[in-house]
Chain A
Amino acid sequence: MSHVVDRHGAWLVSLLMVVGCMILPAIGFAADSTAAGPTEYRDIPYIGSRNLIWIVAQLHLLLAGFVLGVPIFAWLCEIIAWKGGEQRYDKLAKEFTKLLTSAYATTALFGGILLFLLIVFYPKLMNYLTDIFFPSFLLYCLLFLFETATLYLYWYGWDAMQEGGKKTLHIFLGFLLNFFAIFIMIVPNAWATFQSSPVVISEGTAIERAWAATWNPTWWPINIHRLIANVVLGGYICGAYAGVRYLAAKTAADREHYDWMGYVGNFIGVFGLLALPFAGYWLMREIYQYNQQMGITLMGGFLSWLFIIQAMLIGVLFLGSNYYFWLGITYRIPGSENQYRKPILWMLISLLLCLAVWMTPHSLVASIEEAQKMGGAHHPLLGVLGVMSAKMTVSNLMILITFMSFVMYWRAGKQDTAPWARLAKAVMGAILALASIAVIILGVWGYFVPAIVRINYFSTSQVAIVIFVILTITPLTALLLKSAKTTTDMVWGRMPPRAGYALVLNAVMVILLMALMGYARSSSRVHWHIYGVMRDTSPYAYSPALGSASLIMVFCTFFFCLLVAFIFWVATMGDKAKGVQGTVKQDLPHGIPAMAGGGPERGEG
């Protein structure tokens, strides 16, 4: 034992020495200041202050999204268990809440590092922001105290508050946890959005000034967008965790549990994903309304290619989520694969066509030679598909298709018995067909009306139509299935390994999207710390090209995945020890390889 400790000690010392050697050059920090004034910027050799801030800020944001998304996810699961009586949801909620203590600590660690780095590298900016926002800095600290206290009560009181009124109290604690968490998100959102869309700060008290700056045009669009995105992130990370555990599952019980967990994670991810494009559209609309220049920089300027990449990532996410539903129909509900093969094929073709339109570029920055080759600023053939009218139409159609995938999955293996079932199905079919036609008509009509009419009326009508479809077909299907006869029971633990990889892919796509859009939002400020108010005069007052930026995004995504894996590993370490003591390793049926979906015969649980 002591030998092991010695060896680890030596390893640690070596590591510290290497880190020390790397840090040595940093003693020569560069400091930029005016001749007589205070230091405005400091720099760090090799990596550069901006890159270091970028990486730490991105990791902090991703972790923050995770720790804000997980409590929402856990609380929803706890409520489902509380109301529906299915205890496995309660177990799932507890399993994820367990992560929160270590996840919060890691998030706070990166938040602290970020704060120190900002003070060190960008003192001028931090002085300015502190001067405006210091009342909300204090509020932020207070919120952390409340959040931490609530989390301790929520987590440590889980087992003690399981019955009767105590359970209600526990649910209320879960509500408080999310309530404080949302405020912890929206307070710093004000600081970040003020940098992008500052407002005139008039004279007044410190609180009045802070409030004026907080209530800036993009604050609420970002709040809503991030709130939904956090739910999506929490859901898909849960799914990815389940996917990894499923791939490594050695017993049928584990496979069933992690298959089910993957389903729940994917469902909650998709649930948020359906609403996310609407929130994103609102945000872009507010950006355009605030400053058209910024909107054009994003959509038609040097960031225009970024939105093509974004469309591709979102497309992969939609395809991945649908693919997982389709795998579920095929493998969990035996006998359904033939029934749904054709609709699945049509859905796949429709999704790919929609994705192709969404990815069509329009207002790209082209050189004179490129423009001459195309015969104008826009491609004569593809330009017509690259406009917002077409993109809004296909994004709405993709949401409709994904929703129908879910409904199909929901209905699979069940036979309607209600006398009005035929009528209800006809109504649902008509609603879906009419809605799709209406969305397409509005999209085509959008070409012939002024942009302001399209933005204010047509696009919002398309969104309203899709929401109407979701809000009518969901309760109708639920009513229909209430009296339906189950012909084939859902069989968990049968999914092939590629289902686990699909879940991991979805999570990676969401994380990459967050990293990509973080770069977009920051770059849209171009050479300003605070747009139009405080100019970035540092040597890093430029936005790098997408290619080199993508490598930093890749690093952040990879490192974040490792951090999350570490958090899961730490949190479940105790369970594994208990499991080894309490259970005997079970052989798999028929001696199949210990890989999930390795081919157990149909009919076995």
Chain B
Amino acid sequence: MDNRLNPSIVSDAERIALVQNQIRRTQYQNTMLSIIGVLGFLMIWQFLGTTSLIDNRYLSTPLRIINLFMVKLTDPNPDGAVIGVNVMSSLTIALAGFGLAIIIGVPLGLFMGWYKGFDSFMRPLFEIIRPIPPVSWIPLTIVWLGIGLKAKALIVFFAAFVPCLINSYTGIRQTNEVLKNVAKTCGASNFTIFWKVGIPSSLTLMFAGIKVAIGNAWATLVAAEMLASSSGLGYMILMGRQFGRVDLVILGIVVIGVIGTIITQLIDIVENKVLGWKKL
């Protein structure tokens, strides 16, 4: 009889090794599926382009995009900046707006979710601001802040702020009443319960909100760079459009997608570190 199937025979060390092995295998399978998914998509795309099922003027092939990426590493034409400069410019704007959204949105959401008086005071204002499309702030932003980094970061901020606030708000409101009562019984003050029970409880939803926010931030980047710019990925896309360069537009889109994915992965790593205790 296979002793791996008999719990009374398998030692703890073997069981742990078995579980770890299963986890590794699942992770490997998932990684391979992801790679196959991406590669399959690229292959279909390349096939459609190569066989001219889709006109190359309207959709460049992945190989041409990769080639253009290599060229744009050193060649600033046609938009006037190499890809590195464009990436840095966009990252500065996106992360400035995104960072501001976390710094303001998360604490605001937590306080609104925990303190009912503050919620009553802030919520009507937030509900008015919430449905306003970030792009509609552009004319006012120009008047208020000019056309520099601050103005563009503010547009991104409006896009990233809402999910940060809503998720923090919802997360802290879902704090388990039993935990709160236990803390109260132990004599904890309201602020202590907020700090030591409420905030840790809200972390899962808070991180989910932050991940949505980074997506929104990147999505608004093109609009923010339409405001005014001389470099950036959004600007590169606009110039691609201006000069009828579909390949440049697609390169901009792909780079935005890749950077967005990398940032999301980084947030996942931070989330795993911070929320490791929840997964035990």
Q: Please say whether chains A and B are actual partners in one complex.
A: no
Q: Give residues in B with beta carbon < 8 Å to A.
A: none
